[in-house]
Amino acid sequence: MTTTIEINPGTLTLAELRTIAKAPVRVTLTKGCKIKIDASVKTVSDVISQGRVIYGINTGFGLLASTVIPADELEHLQRSIVLSHAAGVGTFMEESTVRLMMVLKINSLARGYSGIRLEVIDALIQLVNAEVYPCIPQKGSVGASGDLAPLAHMSTLLLGEGEASHKGKKLSGLEGLQIAGLSPIILGPKEGLALLNGTQASTAFALEGLFAAEELFAAAMVSGSLSVEAALGSRRPFDPLVHEVRGHRSQIDVAACYRRLLDHSQIENSHKSCESVQDPYSLRCQPQVMGACLTQIRNAAEVIATEANAVSDNPLVFSKENDIISGGNFHAEPIAMVADNLALAIAEIGALSERRMALLIDSHMSKLPPFLVEKGGLNSGFMIAQVTSAALASENKSLAHPASVDSLPTSANQEDHVSMATFAARRLSEMAENTAGVLAIELLASCQGVDFRAPLKTSPLLEEAKALVRKVVAFYDQDRYFAPDIKKAQDLVQSGAFNHLVSSDLLPSFTS
């Protein structure tokens, strides 16, 4: 059954946005928003009738802003900007990304500061509800002056141009409109610019990166706890006294989660009197590292949620003040910076996981069979799985290089500093895929290690996690085709199968 989300403009929650990202939805607008939308359209109309010259309404764009456009060419101006700016390249965005992007644009325009008619906003809603999505190339935005190319490709569909997809089938833009029960729209003054200006593509990518980071975080908490058990790690580093004196909220919360996951373990009781003094950092410092990652995730969630509800086109129409102001809300620097911080968190989650897995296959460190398999030599066990894990973790180090520190001037130096937010957020998907692979390998290794501790059992929560893994991947008793096992475990990670085992207040999109 399709979920219906009523948009009260400017109040979308991360939980609602997660729902929109996961599956097709039906969206509606609250009735009250029509007043502000109509008022902004009237303000634009009044400006034109008064003969005032306002950027984006009756002028050219970018460096051509000083060119005044005659009133009888304003409709042509808006159509031209959409078609000329649809200059993206590369593979098309996933339908889920486009759906998010469209809902974000609906949410922003419906706040009533953009001078665009309700009729145009309703057309976007009809397309979303009919599951007709514009085909939008992933590349071509620098995240300043808005995500111009992606949003232009989104808008071509309203004109009956471009390409669309419907339930996986590619269509012409005109065919897509017909499926949604629409006809091509003639855009009025400012409407093309209102559609094209904005950070909705960058923000959609960033939201997907945030949701993936949450799922990676939850899986890493579980796999890290299982590794503690498999390696007979100490519980002392998770003691609340240690974390309270440092004072970082996320570190304190993460340590509490580890204690909960590890509580009531037979394996722990079996080695309480062991002579081990200190565990390696990848076990002992998990609250510190994962706490720092959680801080980045929480901060990113706050910034992205704000931007998801922002008015980020230009110029802005303030009907109550009877004013139209050209500013720079289209500059996506907030998204660029938090996307870079999410990249660091995603990379570090994977880097720490790879080190734990490497520890488990080293029999000198873990006191488990070499490479986690009986008859080592005849069997190679997890030897090359760790190589794969190292390759993925290393690749993420390069991808984590900050995008927001880069800028190339555009529009003949009129737009002389840009955010690169679109790439900053888009690359999170590839990084998350890599880290999911690393965590999948650790999950298989840590469950293998815990199984070697039988008949002792781990904690009830970790037994539940191990059962999820063992439901799809059997114990590795001898060498077999390994790749399908990793894929099945990776699917568990990316599906959020371990989210419920982690305190819900650690995951921002589940508590908003």
Residues with a catalytic annotation lie at 55
Residue 250 and residue 261: Cα distance in Å, rounded?
Answer: 16
Cis peptide before 455 (omega within 30 of 0): yes
Residue 122 and residue 128: Cα distance in Å, rounded?
Answer: 10
Residue 233 carries which DSSP code?
A: -
Quick one: how far is CA 173 from the chain centroid? 27
User: Phi and psi of 263, rounded to 5°?
Assistant: -70, 145
Specify burial of residue 347 (Cβ count, 10 A radius: 0-12, 13-18, 19+).
buried
CB 360, CB 366: distance < 8 Å: yes
CB 164, CB 173: distance < 8 Å: yes
Q: Which residues pair with 171 in a beta bridge?
A: 164
Amino acid at 226: L
Residue 420 and residue 403: Cα distance in Å, rounded?
Answer: 6
Quick one: how far is CA 62 from the chain centroid? 30
Total residue count of the chain as it appears in this document: 512
CB 345, CB 396: distance < 8 Å: no
